[in-house]
Chain A
Amino acid sequence: MASDDHHIPNGSTTTPPDIQFEFAHHDPAIARINNGSFGSCPSSVISAQQDWQLKWLQQPDDFYFNTLKPSILKARLIIRDLINADHVEEISIVDNATTAAAIVLQHVTWSFLSSQFQPGDAAIILHYAYGAIKKSLQAYVARAGGQIIEVKLPFPVNSDEEIIQEFGKALELGRMNGRKIRLALIDHITSMPSVVIPVKELVKMCREEDVDQIFVDGAHAIGCVDIDVKDIGADYYTSNLHKWFFCPPAVAFLHCKKSDILNQLHHPVVSHEYGNGLAIESSWIGTRDYSAQLVVPEVMDFVNRFDGGIDGIKKRNHEKVVEMAIMLAKAWGTHLGVPPQMCSSMAMVGLPACLGIFSHSDGLKLRAYLRDCFKVEVPIYYREPEKGEHTPITGYARISHQVYNTVEDYYKFRDAVNKLFNDGVTCAFLSD
């Protein structure tokens, strides 16, 4: 049975969305419990997007001169209000968090090259930072002479304090020998394993330790946890609207707190708008399909048809995913990798040790096997065991819950793993 999202709010005249209809294009055979990776988009928004695409194809010159810019501005204004930013100039729309990282880190490169930063100055990053972000740091910071310090965070984790402690140690390490920490790159919700990080506290610690700039990678955050950029207090904050905010691929915002540096940020793809400010530069990077950026108003309409709007959706997703995670952990005799209060709309559920997940590639093999043979889509995380651990849980499934999920999805997953368990299947038997 579908979750409670469909019940009619008191006194409201809006009809709640028909979830089945809105997500009828999802492959019905799949238990799709991986909203975290690629997000999802309802039919009414896809339809709105196609209208925008058609408008462009009908008369692109007119669209370019008269429609595109004001429509992007409209989207930026909505985002500004959603995240409690002060000025719309602080909001740029880009393809995804990966692009946002390129923008911020390219600026760091120039700072090294122009000797504003010295060789050896450091950037701090969480060990669980997204792969693309780590590569971006290689490409733009390490290559320019910067040092990268990774903060190893515990997993499984039991509380915010554990994270705060490890982060504090890394800040100390970063400042050893008079080194300057130029940038701290902090996830709001780490990807793998998925943990909600106490960003507000970490940002405060960075300020106290005189870190130059703080960039929060909130790729998963919008539509998943609360975002108040003023309250969080970072210099930069990015989040993908196509993950948990029902936009089609791909659209993200990059919030840059108003400062002198804001004028120095540039989109790496340079058009004739170069020099007109990051938001304007980002709104035209050559002929492309900008339609995904233009449907933000339609998405607001969509989420506001749910009880409690996006806040209601967030809350129910979170409660449901925790409920399902606990159910699975009970069924398999395992545990959650993070306590409920550190779960977002995703949870990390331990997989039975006897599945024999001993490497990252085992995790991938198991994921493919679950997809191909059991029609379950769920990413698997491999955790390297600590020394001396006895029959440790080394594999965790990152389950997601979005409005289209039903309990059957999770039962299907439960039963699949139980079957593997009963048949004595291990990753060693799975082909590459």
Chain B
Amino acid sequence: MDMEPLAQGTPKRRRWVVEKREKKKKKKKKKKKKREQMEDPQANGDHNHNHIPKKLKLSSPSSFISDSEIRQEFAHHQLGIARINNGSFGSCPASIIAAQKQWQLRFLQQPDDFFFNHLQNGILRSRTLITSLINADHVDEVSIVDNATTAAAIVLQHVGWAFAEGRFQKGDAVVMLHCAFQAVKKSIEAYVTRAGGSVIVVQLPFPVHSDQEIIAEFRKGLAMGKAHGRKVRLAIIDHITSMPCVVIPVRELVQICREEGVEQVFVDAAHAIGSVHVDVKEIGADFYVSNLHKWFFCPPSVAFLYCRKSPIALDLHHPVVSHEYGNGLAIESAWIGTRDYSSQLVVPDVLDFVNRFEGGIAGIRKRNHDAVVRMGELLARAWGTHLGSPPEMCPSMAMVGLPSSLRISSDDDALKLRTHLRDHFEVEVPIYYQALKDGEIGGDNWDGRVAGYARISHQVYNTVDDYLKLRDAINQLVKDGVTCNNLP
């Protein structure tokens, strides 16, 4: 396009100078975008909240990830350790770590440009993918936070304000499961009890034999707690309890909560994504959180908090307040001061990774579940014990009874045994101490009493040898007459 020569200093020339520069800039940007598109078809920087990228095509049979490739992806795991505790801290394959490092580098290279031009898009992209994964209606309902612990703080701080501002009355209750994660219990203490709320604790059975047992106990516990006309403002229900590990029939429990007039339901599904099927609409809770760094191959740490669209969702705030305060929880959570957000940005890379497996994440879940049940049964047979829950209530973890001769009599004993297994047998597995039920006779009668369970996990990197190592370690301890009492 011909530009007529313009006189120096005229408004027309000034505008021409600016336009020329901006044209050059736009051309460069277009070239870069095209290059990025060719490298990654999903990098469209689309700000449209309703745009959900097409599902990635699953790999063809001949190109599924091989066993040796899996070993390579987890080659950084410490050699020699039977790592059967994916449940506690998760795991992350090498290709995702590499992708994360790329994001970290981009920030370090030019942090201002990263902050102004790339970070928000990257987080929105992750949120959009998660929205699709969990069958949420709208990406606005999905916020990304560090972990389930942070999500609990968000929801419970809101409850605290409701008490403080008179929307809730002193004595109004929050329901939780007896085996809720310790951080959740403490969060209830910090934000609910402190603000004048009361707590209803529902005891669930363990060992457990069926969903019906859980449903019955929950119904009973909730009804008892509501006695004297107490108003129940919030129920916190695990999708998969941590210790002991059991898949809870959340959909039914949410239904019971609605029937019993519980105002809001918060599902703590820390372990769920990548472990069991997650459909937030079907489950029907008001809030749902899960950690992507446990079973969904993300690096530490990243979790999503789903908040069903409602007036209350608009009043939720991240406890760390930045300049984004008031712009909605998802936007607030996307900037809580200068930090490393890279683990939140690799969700697209993780989808690529899981789709290298046959059946994608659903295939991984199924195979993990089948393997952990098989291994659980192998161990129970070897030790003469049993599983703490039936296979259909196990996710990718199983509770396997430990021989009574170990005499696990307390949480401390369980921790001692865990440490001993790590230090002397190179086996990493958490141990759960099952306290005696009311009326059970303890004392010195250890005959056949299973007071401890190992929570074994199975993730794609595990092999049968890991579980055989645990089997042999326990057998050795039993043979040597070791009890938790005489552990160092």
A→B interface (CB under 8 Å): 25-27, 30, 32, 34, 37-41, 46, 50, 54, 56-62, 64-65, 95-99, 101-102, 106, 110, 113, 131-132, 135-136, 138-140, 143-144, 240, 242-243, 248-250, 266, 268-272, 274-275, 285-289, 292, 368, 371-373, 377, 423-426, 429-431
A65 touches B146 (CB 8 A): no
Which B residues are CB-close (under 8 A) to A248? 108, 340
Q: List 24 A-B contacts (CB under 8 A).
A: A32-B110, A38-B338, A39-B338, A95-B337, A98-B337, A99-B337, A101-B321, A102-B321, A110-B194, A135-B322, A242-B338, A249-B340, A250-B339, A268-B157, A269-B150, A269-B319, A287-B294, A288-B301, A289-B340, A289-B343, A371-B112, A373-B22, A423-B13, A423-B18
**B side interface size, CB within 8 A:** 77
Q: How far is the CB of B159 from chain A (nearest CB, A)?
A: 13
Q: A59 contacts which of B105, B107, B336, B428 (Cβ < 8 Å)?
A: B428
On whether A274 and B186 interact (CB within 8 A), knowing A132-B322, A286-B148, the answer reads yes
Q: Which residue of A lies closest to B74 (CB)?
A: A57
Nearest 3 CB-CB pairings of A with B:
A286-B149, A98-B337, A268-B319
Beyond A96-B339, A132-B321, A377-B113, 5 additional pairs, beta carbon < 8 A: A27-B110, A37-B112, A106-B319, A113-B164, A135-B325
B149 touches A271 (CB 8 A): yes
Is there a chain A Cβ closer than 8 Å to B304's Cβ? no
Which A residues are CB-close (under 8 A) to B92? 57
Q: How far is the CB of A169 from chain B (nearest CB, A)?
A: 27
Which of A25, A39, A287 counts the most B-chain CB atoms under 10 A from its CB?
A287
Q: How far is the CA of A193 from the CA of B393 in the complex (A)?
A: 59
Q: How far is the CA of A56 from the CA of B76 in the complex (A)?
A: 10
Which B residues are CB-close (under 8 A) to A59? 77-78, 81, 83, 428
Is there a chain A Cβ closer than 8 Å to B228's Cβ? no
Which A residues are CB-close (under 8 A) to B321? 98, 101-102, 132, 135-136, 138-140
Q: How far is the CA of A425 from the CA of B76 in the complex (A)?
A: 55
Q: How far is the CA of A242 from the CA of B107 in the complex (A)?
A: 13
Q: How far is the CA of A197 from the CA of B189 in the complex (A)?
A: 40
A270 touches B428 (CB 8 A): no
Which residues 154-188 in B have Cβ within 8 Å of A in the complex?
Answer: 156-157, 161, 164, 182-183, 186-187
Q: A268 contacts which of B9, B153, B299, B325 (Cβ < 8 Å)?
A: B153
Q: How far is the CA of A41 from the CA of B153 in the complex (A)?
A: 31
A54 touches B339 (CB 8 A): no
A287 touches B147 (CB 8 A): yes
Q: B89 contacts which of A60, A131, A140, A240 (Cβ < 8 Å)?
A: A60
B189 touches A274 (CB 8 A): yes
Q: Which residue of B lies closest to A143 (CB)?
A: B161
Is there a chain A Cβ closer than 8 Å to B317's Cβ? yes
Q: Which residue of B lies closest to A285 (CB)?
A: B149
A423 touches B17 (CB 8 A): yes
A62 touches B293 (CB 8 A): no
B187 touches A429 (CB 8 A): no
B109 touches A25 (CB 8 A): yes
Is there a chain A Cβ closer than 8 Å to B437's Cβ? no
Q: A271 contacts which of B186, B319, B320 (Cβ < 8 Å)?
A: B186
A288 touches B299 (CB 8 A): no
On whether A272 and B186 interact (CB within 8 A), knowing A34-B112, A37-B111, A240-B338, the answer reads yes
Q: How far is the CB of A374 from chain B (nearest CB, A)?
A: 9
B187 touches A132 (CB 8 A): no
